[in-house]
Amino acid sequence: MAYEKIWVDNEKLNKTEVKKLKKDGLEVFKDIPYYAENGFESIPKEEWDSFKWAGLYLQRPKEDGYFMMRINVPSGVLSFEQAETLASICNDYGRGVFDVTTRQAIQFHWLQIENIPDIFNRLERVGLSTAGACGDITRNIVGNPLAGIDPNELFDTEPIVREIYEYFQHNKDFSNLPRKYKMSISTNVHNAANAEINCVSYTPAIKEIDGENVKGFHVKVGGGLSARPYLADTLDIFLRPDQVKEVAIAITKIFRDFGYREKRHLARLKFLLADWGPEKFKEKIIEYTGLLHSKGEEQQKDWNAGYFYGVHPQKQKGLNYIGFNVPVGRLHADEVHEIAIISNDYGNGEIRTCNSQNIIIPNIPDEKVESLLEEKIFERITIEPRKFMAYSVSCTGIEFCNLALVETKERMRRVAEYLDEQIALDVPVRLHMIGCPNSCGQRQIADIGLQGIKMKSKEKGLIEAFEIYVGGTLNNGGKFNEKLKGKVEGDYLQVVLREFLTYFREEKHPSELFFDFVERVGIEPLQGELDRILGNVTANVS
């Protein structure tokens, strides 16, 4: 029985909502074969945005007819067959550009409508899907990339992620949400799934129930970034593993039925939670599920930001997982093919993606580790990256994205390489670069966030520039970084960052992290230093 769209009579619905009432977003899957047969010109312009529900965006410029495709990878776990299929599709249709996203998904570019049905068929044969990778729907479910092999997890969450992911796949009861809807499920005690910035997160917890210590989850609701970022609130709820699906359905129903549909920029679940508060939200969940246990003991200890570099023992004796750096998340399809072959030869063929845009090869026997690391491909995709390259994250940027204001991906790579040549630090500094306020590169949680803008220049007209933000973290509940005044012209970003980080090196305590430094000295000295640097740069240019 179809659910009732209780918002149907709302006269203030935005245009997108009105359109969704007439045609469900998932209907685009039925339309694609016709468009593929008749070419890009057969797609009505008003239908371009509908392709999001199929994981497709038109890349810049839209009129050229090339698509970006996002493929879901729940928990970041890829089998050998899946990795091989992705590499072959990317080579055949995507010019070899293979990107790992900050939500463990995979992105292709340069796809044409004529090829989409074949791509869908090839993905389906190996159990992959693009449904819900974009659009007002449940997105790829982020999880622990070490699920099932992690010595630092309470229990394996991969089966739970898989069950819930498959429940929402192509489910028209939940394909018309007010906005995108992001979920994470992990019991890694180092917060590998970035719990605080998801709409809903299930985090590791233990509660004594009837004299038994039960391993399960706490529930965080209302996180999200973009132009108005929020950190998630923890509800007074404890869940056993077998209750997660029921609660996930309840929360999604609440968002669907009570979320805001008047203004697109105020429609995420975080705005509903902010208005209702955690207690009212919890009571609404209980209306759907019945009584739930109150909170237990939180098991989340700290935040590793999704980084797992090096060789580490798994919970399975004699086996290891190996964390590799993928510079700014970009691989070539041939590299993916080679890594899959190596993983299959030395282990079980799996590759796992991280929200740090990096990869893990699991299940490598002790005696094979050394030989694996001698493979030539691991000179670029290394377990020991240089410090700035190791902790640099970037969104897609103006190269492909219609929302971006500046070029990011290649620029972030060049900046990291430059800094690694110019300055040595005793601690990592996480640099995140984004091309617009939507923050796909998660600028708000970086040590140093770089947000692209357009800036007027007397000599050059409208140019690419950056704002600098400092002091973000998800440790201890999280704190978003703060904006420093001033705009940095893109051409001088490398020099400005070098000078800024030199100041950090000279003023910090031994082993002091950048976040702790910002907390200790405050924003004012950092602002003064940036002002001085920008003044010098301007003077030298003049």
Task: Give the CATH number for residue 464.
Answer: 3.30.413.10
In a domain, 158, yes or no: yes
Predicted confidence at residue 458, as pLDDT, reads 81
pLDDT tens string 413-447: 999 999 999 999 999 999 999 999 999 999 999 99
Cβ–Cβ < 8 Å for 443, 434: yes
Cβ–Cβ < 8 Å for 262, 13: yes
Query: Which residues of the chain are under the pLDDT cut of 50?
Result: 542
Total domains in the fold of the chain: 2
In a domain, 181, yes or no: yes
In a domain, 332, yes or no: no
Residues contacting residue 1 through CB under 8 Å, at least 6 positions apart: none
Shared-domain flag, residues 92 and 197:
yes
Residues contacting residue 258 through CB under 8 Å, at least 6 positions apart: 272, 284
Q: Prior bond to 61 cis, omega within 30?
A: yes
Cβ–Cβ < 8 Å for 83, 336: yes
Shared-domain flag, residues 275 and 130:
yes
Q: What is the CA radius of gyration of the chain?
A: 23
Predicted confidence at residue 541, as pLDDT, reads 57
Shared-domain flag, residues 282 and 393:
no
In a domain, 255, yes or no: yes
Shared-domain flag, residues 281 and 418:
no
Shared-domain flag, residues 294 and 395:
no
Shared-domain flag, residues 95 and 204:
yes
Catalytically active residues, by annotation = 70, 179-180, 435, 440-441
Predicted confidence at residue 542, as pLDDT, reads 46
In a domain, 338, yes or no: no
Q: Which two tokens stand for residue 393?
A: 């994250």
Final residue of a domain: which of 242, 266, 298? 298
Shared-domain flag, residues 174 and 45:
yes
DSSP bridge partners of 324: 359
Alpha helices in 213-359 (DSSP H): 244-258, 269-276, 278-289, 333-346
Q: What single letter denotes the amino acid at residue 330? A: R
Shared-domain flag, residues 280 and 423:
no
Shared-domain flag, residues 45 and 174:
yes
Shared-domain flag, residues 26 and 155:
yes
Final residue of a domain: which of 280, 298, 316? 298
Q: Which domain holds residue 491?
A: 389-541
**pTM for this entry:** 0.96
In a domain, 348, yes or no: no
Predicted confidence at residue 460, as pLDDT, reads 82
Final residue of a domain: which of 298, 316, 331? 298
Q: What single letter denotes the amino acid at residue 214? A: V
Q: Which two tokens stand for residue 478?
A: 């999280």
In a domain, 399, yes or no: yes
Query: Alpha-carbon distance 152 to 206, whole Å?
Result: 14
Cβ–Cβ < 8 Å for 153, 147: yes
Predicted confidence at residue 381, as pLDDT, reads 98
Which of these, 354, 293, 327, 339, lies nearest to 417 by C-alpha position?
Answer: 327
Predicted confidence at residue 537, as pLDDT, reads 83
Cβ–Cβ < 8 Å for 490, 531: no
